[in-house]
Amino acid sequence: MKTVRMPFRSFRAKILVSFFICIILPVAALLYLFTISLGEVAWKEMRRGNDDALHQVAKSVDDWAERVLRASNLIVNDPEIGAFLSGDADWYTNYEALRHYGNIQQKLVNVRDILLGDHAIVAVLDERGFVHSTAAEPSDFSRQRALLAAAAREVWYERTRSLEGWPVWQFPYSGEMLRLAGSAEPFFALSRWIGGGGQSAALFIGLPVSVIPDPEDKPPGYESSHYLLADGEWNLPGGSSPLPSRETDELLDRLKRGESDRAAGFAGDTIRGYSVSSAPIPRLGWHVVQLVPQQQLREQLGGIRNTSILYLLGLSLLFAVVFVYFLFRFTRPLRELARSMSRLGEGIFDSRVPVRGEDEIAVLGRIYNKMIDRLREMIDRLREEQRRKEEARFQALQAQINPHFLYNTLNSIKWMATLSGADHVSRMITKLGLLLQYTMKVEREVVTLAEELTHLEAYLDL
């Protein structure tokens, strides 16, 4: 009858249970903690990427603002331009004035090409009734005067005049000056007043918004970010906000109130499902506000976490398979030894086990094989002893036959002597028979005194 093995009682099962308790469970706990830590690290990494992207936008705007400001300094501080604006506007009749006019036009073009690129527009609105620019000029003075009059009615023009040379930044600009460029695209614009010494003109430098690039390497999950420009008073001069107007104003107000608490010029906030951050533009005194959908951040974070968990689970499964493979390989000799012992218990003494290696299991196998060899030798020796005992017993039975034959013969002689009248011979034979009978039948070490006295009397009679 085969014994039914209970589950988890084998050596392999115990090792697997121990492996599960001592390795799998701690690894699962560590994996859980790692997942939480990974989420925090990934979130911080994405926030860092958000910070980098935001500051890249702010730096890009700041760099272009510096270029525009440098271009304006070159024009405002150029003595030849100052002399041209304070001189006579007779370049259509005076060759020397015409030469100066050509030099001025070329300077405006050079400043534009070197610092800003051919997409920009540089214009000097001369209050004498002319508009000098890098773009196509109106065909007559009347059109120039009309353009100048239309620009003078715009808010920026009067503000530029009142600041007397301080820069006035505008974004987005979509006024009359766009006609010079022949484009409907809004401008990122700077205006400064050129005054003093008989000069009276407004400098206008416009840069298409498309020229200012978005971050070249947006972090994953930030492709649909929204960037807004807020001026020094945290008003929103331009930019498309994904929030309703009231909530946009509320957000700007919150950023304005929290500006004094930001040590590094960076603020983190959330509103209506968007992660909000801002970074300053030092040369403008403005800020770039970034709105990132939190749903995309969570999806991206979940994707990173899930990918990492899948990799970890795959590696753990691979290691578990390798562990089980080596477990079965290393415990195979033990199973063979157990099966051999089971056959030995059933009386099969030729169940030796193969021995490989020099480890403890191999030593145990060698000892087991030696034990089987000794058992065989012992069984052979016992079998030989049993054969000899049977043989001795047979010889003893044979030895018992001869005394009985002698006793029976003596008994026959006694009766013959009795019948013949030789009573003394009969008595002697009777005594001899008693003596022989006592010798053959008494096998005890201790006999009674009566038996011993009877045996002695028969001996003395003989």
- What CATH number is associated with residue 86? 3.30.450.20
Q: Is the dihedral of CA 375, 377, 383, 388 positive or negative?
A: negative
What are the tokens at 68?
A: 């525009």
Which amino acid type is present at position 315?
L
In a domain, 129, yes or no: yes
CA distance 136 to 145: 15
Structural domains of the chain, count: 2
Chain centroid, CA 241 distance in Å:
36
Chain centroid, CA 254 distance in Å:
37
CA distances for 132 relative to 141, 290, 357, angstroms = 11, 38, 98
Instruction: Give Dmax over CA atoms of the chain in angstroms.
Output: 204
Structural domain of 412: 360-461
Strand partners, 208: 187
Residue 344: CB atoms within 10 Å: 17
pLDDT score at 264: 37
- Cβ–Cβ < 8 Å for 106, 100: no
Strand partners, 267: 278
In a domain, 163, yes or no: yes
Domain boundary among 175, 194, 211: 211
In a domain, 70, yes or no: no
Quick one: which H or E segment has residue 16?
A: helix 11-19
Domain boundary among 211, 234, 255: 211
pLDDT tens, per residue, the chain with 462 residues:
444 444 555 666 767 777 777 777 777 777 777 666 766 666 676 677 777 778 888 888 888 889 889 998 998 888 888 888 887 777 677 777 778 888 888 888 898 888 888 888 888 888 888 888 887 555 566 777 888 888 888 888 888 988 888 898 888 888 888 877 677 778 888 999 987 666 788 999 988 877 765 544 444 444 567 777 787 777 777 656 777 777 777 777 788 777 544 433 344 567 767 778 788 888 888 888 877 776 666 666 666 667 777 777 787 778 778 777 777 777 777 777 777 777 777 777 677 777 776 767 777 777 877 887 788 888 888 888 888 888 888 777 666 666 667 777 877 887 888 888 777 777 788 877 777 777 766 566 677 888 888 878 878 877
Residue matched to tokens 């440098």? 70
3-state secondary structure of 70: helix
CA distance 176 to 192: 17
pLDDT score at 266: 40
Ramachandran angles phi, psi of 271, nearest 5°: -160, 130
3-state secondary structure of 133: strand
CA distance 189 to 169: 6
Domain boundary among 189, 211, 233: 211
CA distance 292 to 222: 6
Residues with Cβ within 8 Å of 458's Cβ and at least 6 positions away in sequence, in order, are: 431, 432, 434, 435, 438
3-state secondary structure of 234: coil
Residue 248 Ramachandran class (φ > 0 left, ψ -120 to 50 alpha, else beta): alpha
Residue 334: CB atoms within 10 Å: 16
In a domain, 172, yes or no: yes
How would DSSP label each residue in 89-130?
A: --TTT-HHHHHHHHHHHHHHHHHIIIII-TT-EEEEEETTTE
pLDDT score at 204: 92
- Cβ–Cβ < 8 Å for 90, 128: no
pLDDT score at 239: 59
Quick one: which H or E segment has residue 357?
A: none
pLDDT in tens, 145-190: 888 888 888 888 888 988 888 898 888 888 888 877 677 778 888 9
CA distance 231 to 316: 54
CA distance 205 to 169: 10
Quick one: which H or E segment has residue 274?
A: strand 274-281
In a domain, 234, yes or no: no
In a domain, 133, yes or no: yes
In a domain, 294, yes or no: no
CA distance 3 to 417: 76
What are the tokens at 14?
A: 């115990």
3-state secondary structure of 136: coil
Give me the count of residues in the chain.
462
In a domain, 445, yes or no: yes
User: Angle at Cα 134 formed by Cα 75 and Cα 201, nearest 5°?
Assistant: 45
